[in-house]
Amino acid sequence: MMIEGVTIVDTFAEAFPMTAARAIITADTGEWAEIAGRTMSGYATSVIACDAEAAIERVLDPTETPDERPGVSVLVFAFSRDALEKALTNRVGQCVMTCPTTACYNGLALGEKTINVGGKLRYFGDGWQISKRLEGRRYWRVPVMDGEFTCEETFGTTKGVAGGNIILLGTEPGATLRATEEAVRAMRAIPDVILPFPGGIARSGSKVGSKYKALRASTNTAFAPMLRGLVSTDLPPGVQCVYEIVIDGLTLAAVETATVVGLRAGCRPGIVAITAGNYGGKLGPFHIRLHDVLGEQPGI
């Protein structure tokens, strides 16, 4: 299959389940809300070495937030509810509560599977914290030096999908990066997904395992141009640069839609082919087949 002269490799991205939460961060200005969101989602690219995967999902208008202030939505993913509760509580406490004028609210429906965030952070108030219940939800008001930090007690969780990906293969670094940036811009417009790597792009794609026993993952040698001729390669002739976009989403459908949008937007001059990373179906149960999703969503 080809799009705009770019080969779409007949392969699949292999994704796996994770537990997800959505944090709504608000502040007096959109700038401070974004600062808190970016800080909270720092060092959260991959659970290979991070406690969670996280990024800003989108910027929110005041009409979309609980306190009618500017805000951002941040999605956070971890392997279990316990791990997610710990990561989210630490990140909100250290990166949102510390940020001027902010508040933090739950952004998912409250079902049976929830985590406690504000209820743990309240202790920072040293006994001066105050709780308030509105429409069946409890909020904690913690005194801080510019007034008070409001945080919702309970956050909803859902089973999400992590590890979706596309890999762009280009003839030279500049053109490859520009095409990948275009794909990122298009994919970020899809709701319920994040691209957790810096700027949405991973230059150091990995494979499972390593010659060093202490490492769970190591450089993806099959896609490293400098190793062509030294290892078994997946690179067509002429490819000198490779970038990967990793996709996490609240649903498989959202990840598939982002995949399609990214595939189409990434087919630009300088790109030879677009493929995806998988581990023969052994890593995760979700197999996002590039040709299939393009055929299922031809109008995107």
Q: Looking at residue 127, which CATH number applies to its domain?
A: 3.30.70.520
Give the residue among 64, 59, 24 at the shortest CA–CA distance from 40: 24
Answer whether 266's CB lies under 8 Å from 9's CB. no
296 pLDDT exceeds 90?
no
**Using CB atoms within 10 A of its CB, is residue 135 exposed (0-12), middle (13-18) or buried (19+)?**
exposed
Read off the pLDDT of residues 85-121 as tens digits, 9 standing for 90 and up. Answer: 999 999 999 999 999 999 999 999 999 899 999 999 9
User: What is the sign, positive or negative, of the torsion defined by CA atoms of 233, 236, 239, 245?
Assistant: negative
Of 99, 134, 158, the one marking the end of a domain is 158
What's the rounded Cα separation, in Å, for the pair 84 and 78?
5
The contacts of residue 275 (CB under 8 Å, 6+ apart) are 8, 9, 11, 166, 167, 169, 234, 290
Interval 280-285 mean pLDDT: 84
Q: Are 76 and 52 in contact (CB under 8 A)?
A: yes
Residue scoring higher pLDDT (300 or 261): 261
Confidence of residue 298 (pLDDT cuts 50, 70, 90): confident
Question: Are 27 and 142 in a shared domain?
Answer: yes
Q: Does 39 share its domain with 145?
A: yes
pLDDT at 299 over 80: no
Q: What is the pLDDT of residues 229-246, one digit of tens each?
A: 999 999 999 999 999 999
- Write out the residue range of the structural domain in which residue 236 sits: 2-14+160-296
- Residue 286: C-alpha distances to residues 48, 167, 280, 281 (Å): 19, 17, 12, 8
Counting the structural domains of the chain, the total is 2
pLDDT at 282: 78
Residue 222 CB burial class (10 angstroms; 0-12, 13-18, ≥19): middle
Please give the average per-residue pLDDT across 23-38, as a whole number: 98
Name residues whose C-beta falls within 8 Å of residue 135's C-beta, 6 or more positions apart in sequence.
none
Q: Based on the domain organization, do 265 and 289 belong to the same domain?
A: yes
Instruction: Tell me the mean pLDDT in the region 71-97.
Output: 98
| Same domain as 220, residue 232 | yes
30 and 138 assigned to the same domain: yes
CA distance 168 to 225: 13
Domain boundary among the residues 104, 123, 158 is at: 158
Mean pLDDT of the chain: 96
